[in-house]
Amino acid sequence: MGILGQIFNTELLVATIRLSTPITLAAIGATICERSGIVNIAMEGMIIIGAFTGIVGTMLTGSPWLGLLLAVAISGLFSLIHAFATVSLHLEHVVSGAVLNILAFGIVRYLMVVFFGHPGTTDPIKHSLKDFQFAIPGLSKIPVLGPVFFDQTPIVYFSFILIIFFTFFLKRTKLGLHIKAAGEHPLALETIGVSVYKMRYIGVFISGMLAGLAGAYLSIENAVSFTEGMSSGRGFIAMAAMISGGWTPIGSFIAALFFGFIDALQVRLQIVLDLSIPSELFIILPYVLTVVAVAGLVKHSRPPKADGVDFMIERND
């Protein structure tokens, strides 16, 4: 097998799916949030909250499934701070998100000391969602596609379901259409008796839960411990995937696959190629291409008309 065969193989594709999963989940959450009209750069902080509470919940209960539920719930509740700040208090969305990111990392660092006596990394958990990886009979035997899509861990499978669900949700359900209207024509939505505030709260809450799911994937499915900063900018990359994907769940998934592929590729290049090049140059590759992708595609993507635009009933009457 040549060098290209060692780099571009099924293992690379499997790694692409797994590395893109947290980005996909966070990007879908960001899509729902911005469709409601709220810019949410706090996805990074929500992911780290989910990763930490997932590990703590698993350690306290002995069940990664309960840890997963705790991660989703706590991140969802944490996201309501952003909803309250932007929707009820009418604060600038980017400022609120930036403050929440700082708050999330500060809280997690403090709780690391409280629960574990030190910052940094927790002890490994005994049972993780890795233990529940399963191959779908028949489909997993399909060449290439089988191991890539049908021999995965639970949250990876669930991410596929969520892509389909939220695509249908935004296009075919009354609640989904109301959320989109809150981000496109909020005054018109309020005029027909549907609360824009409520739709935006729901949008932010959904983004928080999905960010929590992404965080839980990092700590209790992809890894077996929590490390401070393990989100590694995935919340921001998810925002880039959302923009590159045209503010749609499917588009966000495709963009997340691109970022996951680049991340998997840089790992394979380091393993296969014996080059005297600092590993940091490989590590920054996904982030550099994120900037390039957003710069190239942002001109062709149209955000919701009222995305980031404050709505106050008294001012819009």
State the fold for domain 3-123+152-316. ABC transporter involved in vitamin B12 uptake, BtuC (1.10.3470)
* Number of helices (H), then strands (E), in the chain: 15, 2
Question: Of the ranges 89-103, 116-130, 173-187, 201-215, which one carries the lowest mean pLDDT score?
Answer: 116-130
Q: State the average pLDDT over residues 96-123.
A: 94
pLDDT of residue 5: 72
pLDDT of residue 93: 97
- What 92-98 contacts at long range (C-beta under 8 Å, 24+ apart), as own/partner pairs, is 93/38, 93/39, 93/40, 93/41, 93/308, 94/39, 94/41, 94/308, 96/42, 97/39, 97/40, 97/41, 97/42, 98/41, 98/42
pTM for this model (two decimals): 0.94
Q: How much of the chain exceeds pLDDT 90, in percent?
A: 75
pLDDT of residue 218: 97
pLDDT of residue 172: 95
Backbone angles phi, psi at 308, to 5 degrees: 80, 0
pLDDT single digits (tens) 144-175: 999 999 999 999 999 999 999 999 999 999 99
Residue 89 has pLDDT above 80, yes or no: yes
At 1, the pLDDT band (50, 70, 90 cuts) reads low
Greatest extent of the chain over all pairs of C-alpha atoms, in Å: 69
Q: What is the mean pLDDT of the chain?
A: 91
So where are the chain's domains? 3-123+152-316
pLDDT of residue 298: 59
DSSP state of 85: I
SS3 category, 151 = strand
Residue 20 has pLDDT above 90, yes or no: yes
pLDDT of residue 182: 97
Region label for 153, one of left (φ > 0), alpha (ψ between -120 and 50) or beta (otherwise): beta
**20-48: buried (b, 16+ CB within 10 Å) or exposed (e) per residue?**
bbbbbbbbbbbbbbbbbbbbbbbbbbbbb
Residue 15 has pLDDT above 80, yes or no: yes
pLDDT of residue 294: 67
pLDDT single digits (tens) 256-271: 998 899 888 888 887 7
Q: State the average pLDDT over residues 130-146.
A: 93
pLDDT single digits (tens) 281-297: 777 877 787 777 766 65
Give Cα 80 distance to the centre of its chain: 17
pLDDT single digits (tens) 204-221: 999 999 999 999 999 999
